Structure 1
Amino acid sequence: MSSETNQKEKEKEKEIETEVEEHNSGMAAPAMDSAAVTNLHSVLNRVQQAAERSGRKPDQIRVVAVSKTKPVSLIRQVYDAGHRCFGENYVQEIVEKAPQLPDDIEWHFIGHLQSNKVKLLLSSAPNLAMVETVDDEKIANYLDRGVANIGRKPLKVMVQVNSSGEASKFGVEPLGCVELAKHIKLECPNLEFSGLMTIGMLDYSSTPENFNTMTNCRLEVCKALGIAEENCELSMGMSGDFEQAIEMGSTNVRIGSTIFGPREYPNKQTN
């Protein structure tokens, strides 16, 4: 066999070895993060920066990843990236999704809750961590009785405040938030009052008045209940204004489309 032939065979073997190495390397390479996971990391970085600007630590801000209209598979991707707090607006969605996902998820219900859906919500989502949208004594009483009936630990709730005065939004008027908070604290032993929640105005300004209103509401509630401000959360800020909300005192931001992408409405949803 000529030396030229030997050289060609060696070159061919080297090419094969290189192809095998490249194939194995490609097989071993981790899959790229999904868009939702990349978005989550971006949001958490922005939350960190906003927290620092407000003189707080990032772990003092809770990010509720709002998975409204999104499939379980997409929620699972964000869960696998390490996130544990998710929010839903519709009872039917949380009822369908919660059993398909890990038990250590902390579900927040952030939509308008009808009294006839309370039992279904509580029984179908044992890892429901909080209802952020209690806007009258009736729904507080329904939740209190529902929690007692199923024998679960006290449920954390927030009082929803209509701080913008917009007719399209639910929530108690700012002047009524103290009385509702007192009712929950004194008359609902199976509920744990955790703070105040609001939805921002449609037209945001550099110092949105509704966020200022929430700060004042918290002062009044804390004074009436005799609790420290750090024991009364402020849930305000969504995809379009969460950084500003954090700078103005929010401890809980609800972020959906900036993480998961635009909403998808294949069918009409009902609460």
Structure 2
Amino acid sequence: MAASAAMKGAASLALRSVLHRVSQAAERSGRRPDQVKVVAVSKTKPVCLLREVYDAGHRCFGENYVQELVEKAPQLPEDTEWHFIGHLQSNKVKTLINGVPNLAMVETVDDEKIANHLDRAVGNLGRKPLKVLVQVNTSGEETKSGVEPSGCLELAKHVSENCPNLEFSGLMTIGNIDYTSTPENFKTLANCRSEVCKALGISEEQCELSMGMSSDFELAIEMGSTIVRIGSTLFGAREYPSKQTN
């Protein structure tokens, strides 16, 4: 509680700093700042801190755990744009879709099974198609979720051709095990995008690249990222009072 109180007021200041850094990195990449979306990742943080960032004008937030997202979503206004950015288990799909009406995107589709579960859940609810990203394991680590780079096209095609209630919107990577990435990770994802866009007949501007977090988001933006996921830089170090589950 003391740590949370200490952060009160700091989150909105941190947001301004992050947006300034994003703006500079975007300009270095030859793009406008509004071409890069910042997902404020509030894992383990209380809603009061999210509300502070919301009141400062930010609208896009992300969570790693289904239960935490389902609990937090009703406590922020309906115009909040929620991204789910954690590993999604098939038995939690219905809870996520039904519990978060303003869910804007699932960034972590890593196989056909989870895509099919999401497609059915969205269809059963009758909501508009849900934007999804295909998660790619760019670092080759066995502990990481994500399809191998060689398989991202097949999964992207499956979503585009066989999941009418989903909207394929791009690719995502986490990076290395310590949550930092190298230029190689980012180059791999950019190469995957080129392959996917060519095969699907879409422009690269229509295909998001979600890569970069607190430790490496400026480099990611310089290398073409259109979505960055910022947690600790905005909200401080994560707090784990008890074991979390998806």
2:111 corresponds to: 136
1:69 to 44, 49, 65: 44
Q: Does 1:110 align with 2:85?
A: yes
Q: Any residues of structure 2 matched to 1:256-267 within 5 Å, and which?
A: 256-267=231-242
1:161 to 124, 136, 142: 136
**Aligned 8 A contact 2:212 2:225 in 1:** yes
CA deviations 1:8-27 (Å, max 9, x no partner) are xxxxxxxxxxxxxxxxxxxx
Of residues 207-216 and 163-172 in structure 1, the stretch that sits farther from structure 2 once superposed is: 207-216
Shift of 1:233: 0.5
Shift of 1:169: 1.1
TM-score (norm 2): 0.95
Q: Does 1:211 align with 2:186?
A: yes
TM-score (norm 1): 0.86
1:39 corresponds to: 14
Q: Any residues of structure 2 matched to 1:1-271 within 5 Å, and which?
A: 34-201=9-176, 202=178, 208-271=183-246
CA deviations 1:145-170 (Å, max 9, x no partner) are 00000110000000000000012210
Shift of 1:210: 1.0
Q: What SS does the aligned partner of 1:157 have?
A: strand
Larger Rg: 1
Shift of 1:203: 8.4
Shift of 1:79: 0.3
The amino acid that maps onto 2:20 is N
CA distance in 1, matches of 2:175, 2:161: 29
Among the aligned pairs, what percent are the same residue? 78
CA distance in 1, matches of 2:222, 2:12: 24
CA distance in 2, matches of 1:224, 1:178: 8
The amino acid that maps onto 1:65 is A
Structure 1, unmatched stretches of 5+, are 1-32
CA distance in 2, matches of 1:90, 1:259: 18
The 1:158–1:203 alpha-carbon spacing in structure 2 relative to 1, beyond 3 Å, is: closer
2:4 corresponds to: none
The amino acid that maps onto 1:118 is V
Cα RMSD for the two superposed structures: 1.1
Structure 2, unmatched stretches of 5+, are 1-7
The 1:268–1:203 alpha-carbon spacing in structure 2 relative to 1, beyond 3 Å, is: closer
CA distance in 2, matches of 1:63, 1:185: 25
Size of the aligned set, in residue pairs, is 238
The 1:102–1:268 alpha-carbon spacing in structure 2 relative to 1, beyond 3 Å, is: same
